[in-house]
Chains A and B, each alone.
Chain A
Amino acid sequence: MGQTLTSKREKNALVWFGQNWIFLFLLFLVILFSFVGRGFFSPKTLNNILISSSPALLLAAGEAFVIITGGIDLSVGFVRGLISVLSAIVMRDLYALGYSPAFAISVGIIVGLGVGLLPGLVNGILVAKFRVPPFIATLGMYGIANGFALRLSQGFPISFVPPQAREIGNGFIAYWFPGKGISFFAPPEGISGAEVRHIVGIIPYSILIAGVIIAVFSFILTRTQFGQHTYAIGGSIDAARRAGILVDRHLIKVYMISSFFAALAGVLSVLVFGNGAPTQFASSLELFAVAAVVIGGASLMGGKGSLTKTAVGVFILSVLEIGFLMAGVFPFYRYIAVGAVLVFAVIIDQVMPELVYE
């Protein structure tokens, strides 16, 4: 009796570990790099991690929806680039025509997000109606989106967007100036020169935008009928169909969510970097998105995954990148580390027991 109680407690501990190890692992990485990376544990670096993670968070969150249905979306990286270029062009041209920065930026964002739904619509129709395997359908879109982005941009970054764009992308909710107090939405006035360096930003807008949108979609995934059907389709597409779920329509919506998130990442990158740029071929953004989703506990077979843990997966990848950099380690070790973490995550998922209710 005592034996079984102990083994049961052990089993519950393993279940807990299997479900929560990535939170511990992220914490471990932050502590590790705080010791070995010079200046890693500072508001500036942590803000950098948050800002640079924001577009990646969006890409991975959209990817998570698709992976939960048992599909994959390889086009997200280049859709991001295409929308980045497109919305930057709209912003630049409207601004050049004399419209106000607010108008130019707003229209640029709206056009970007609107056009950003199209790649997902096409992917979804190909997958659901024409039974094209998701890998192939989205690989096609991968090339198409990249081609359009290069055609539009001629391969160069789109500059001369209204300078206010960068202020949004790199702004903070609050600014803290040690010894002088805190100000909201704009840096404190009357501080000049070298002193500016002492201002500490609190919560970047970019992470706020990404965070709020991911929180909303996480709610949709975990609490609503739409989310339940997403998991059901990934678990068994036949069961979903026979239960009367409109699977085709649902899949189209899921691929549109994915490309909408990619578009949002593209728009956000214009705001953060102040220009629009096609995605570099070697950047493998879509593969990092898939990696983050899988580190977050999803299976490429579909049926499982979580947006919260996907976000943690993205932070693990960002912390590895910036941490290695600041620890003075050769950057290519980062790829080795990411690969190792990815495989480790899948192994943990395979060997740890599942939660069983009595």
Chain B
Amino acid sequence: MADQKVPLLEVKNIVKRFGGLVAVNRVSMEVYPGEVVALLGDNGAGKSTLIKVVSGVYPPDEGEIYFEGKEVKINNPMDAIQLGIETIYQDLALAENLNVYSNIFLGREKLKKWLGLVSVLDHDYMHDESKKVLDRLGIEIPSLKNKIKMLSGGQRQSVAISRSIYWKAKLLIMDEPTAALGVAEQRKVLDLVRTLKDQGVGVIIISHQLYDVFQVADRMIVLRRGEKVGERITKDTNSDEIVGLMVGAELVEDSKGEEV
């Protein structure tokens, strides 16, 4: 069904080398609008390198990237952001000393004229707009005037996601979004991912927590030593099979004809 639409993101035969090491070797994948794709693999499998290629941190050595059907060159993070590809890293990149709405508008502050002379920050506008986007995503934070350092890990994650959504992310890449969170907060973040999906945003999730991945992902792509070793629709697979692909211990009979 999804295959009839144009993929939001399509990467073809991406290769990224660091000196003699081939970190990503001829990997192809696509993400459709409103689809959640999980990137799985053991440490060093090449997941992070692959998303850094997509988000503009590392330009690829070989391969093509298509966004909304058109071939694009992503040479730096700004290129990616301008296309609508937002990446949320594990450290979230929030200024903890600033409040919630200031972070959502960081670097793109809304200004107004003071006494018709000087441009000053328009706090009311930024507060109200932030409130709207948080409400739309069903995020509850007591007051947007609170500094980030007063918030829990899950709330911070929500703020980072809201910022991407407010600035019209079409594809959201999340690196270990639930790693540092408590159980209740993990569930909230996963709910948020489902909300994004319903709103037509494409999501790539990197996670070690298979349980989370099975909760939200539509499709799973498994990498091992820089190569794509399997791709499964979530409802057609189980965690044993995925772990098998990740560590390379799958039985030959099981994987016959399925391996790429």
A219 to B142, CA, bound (A): 29
| Chain A proximity of B150: nearest CB distance (Å) | 6
Given A242-B77, A356-B150, A357-B145, residue A225 in contact with residue B109 (CB < 8 A): yes
Q: Which residues of B contact A219 (CB under 8 A)?
A: 118
| Chain A proximity of B148: nearest CB distance (Å) | 8
Of the stretches B91-99, B176-184, B246-254, the one at the interface is: B91-99
Verify if A243 is at the interface (C-beta below 8 Å from B): yes
Of the stretches B19-27, B32-40, B100-108, B219-227, the one at the interface is: B100-108
Number of A-B contacts (CB under 8 A): 74
Q: Which residues of B contact A225 (CB under 8 A)?
A: 109, 111, 119, 121
Verify if A10 is at the interface (C-beta below 8 Å from B): no
B 26-58 binary contact with A (CB < 8 Å = 1; else 0): 000000000000000000000000000000000
Do A228 and B93 touch across chains, with their CB atoms under 8 A apart? no
Verify if A36 is at the interface (C-beta below 8 Å from B): no
User: Of A243, A357, A358, which one neighbours B107 at CB under 8 angstroms?
Assistant: A243
Verify if B72 is at the interface (C-beta below 8 Å from A): no
Do A236 and B119 touch across chains, with their CB atoms under 8 A apart? no
Do B121 and A236 touch across chains, with their CB atoms under 8 A apart? no
Verify if A207 is at the interface (C-beta below 8 Å from B): no
User: Of B81, B98, B142, which one neighbours A357 at CB under 8 angstroms?
Assistant: B142
Question: How many residues of chain B get a CB closer than 8 Å to chain A's CBs?
Answer: 30
A357 to B95, CA, bound (A): 18
A232 to B109, CA, bound (A): 12
Q: Which residues of A contact B238 (CB under 8 A)?
A: none
Do B93 and A304 touch across chains, with their CB atoms under 8 A apart? no
Verify if B147 is at the interface (C-beta below 8 Å from A): yes
Q: Which residues of A contact B78 (CB under 8 A)?
A: 244
Interface residues of A in 200-251 (CB under 8 A from B): 219, 223-225, 228-229, 231-232, 234-236, 238-240, 242-245
Interface residues of A in 226-284 (CB under 8 A from B): 228-229, 231-232, 234-236, 238-240, 242-245
Do B143 and A231 touch across chains, with their CB atoms under 8 A apart? no
User: Of B81, B93, B108, B150, which one neighbours A236 at CB under 8 angstroms?
Assistant: B93
Binding site for B on A (CB under 8 A): 219, 223-225, 228-229, 231-232, 234-236, 238-240, 242-245, 303-304, 354, 356-358
Binding site for A on B (CB under 8 A): 77-78, 81, 91-98, 102-103, 106-109, 111, 114, 118-121, 142-143, 145-147, 149-150
Q: 11 pairs across A/B with beta carbons < 8 Å?
A: A224-B121, A228-B102, A232-B97, A232-B102, A238-B91, A240-B95, A243-B106, A244-B107, A304-B97, A357-B146, A358-B142
Please name the 10 residue pairs, one residue from A and one from B, whose CB atoms are nearest each other, closest first.
A243-B107, A357-B143, A235-B95, A303-B97, A235-B97, A243-B106, A244-B107, A239-B93, A223-B120, A357-B145
